[in-house]
Amino acid sequence: MAKLDFIPLCCSFLDSSRQALSRLAISDNESSKIYIYDGKNHGSPVTIISYCPQYDLSISCDQELIIGFQLINTLPNEILFKSKLDTDLFELVK
């Protein structure tokens, strides 16, 4: 369960059940804001998040040194992998 700093009005999952990520959009009852939460990207507390405007994605790292990528829109052509399982990210953790 998460404590929110606002009163929710409505919410919806943004990904299909077949996708690896599970994002949840929650609207604020008192404004036009919609907050997006990622529920599956990390298994331990996130220690750093950075946005990369060149590729329109955010990169995060948790306490167990797992690196996560959160696409804002679609995967750019310059990125040559479709899943972090196609990379050496797990070798980097070792």
Q: What is the pLDDT of residues 24-78, one digit of tens each?
A: 788 999 999 998 877 666 778 888 888 887 777 778 888 888 887 776 665 556 6
Instruction: Give pTM, 2 decimals.
Output: 0.46
Q: Give 8's pLDDT tier (boundaries 50, 70, 90).
A: very high
By the 8 A CB rule, do 40 and 61 touch?
A: no
Q: Residue ranges per domain, the chain?
A: 1-40, 41-94
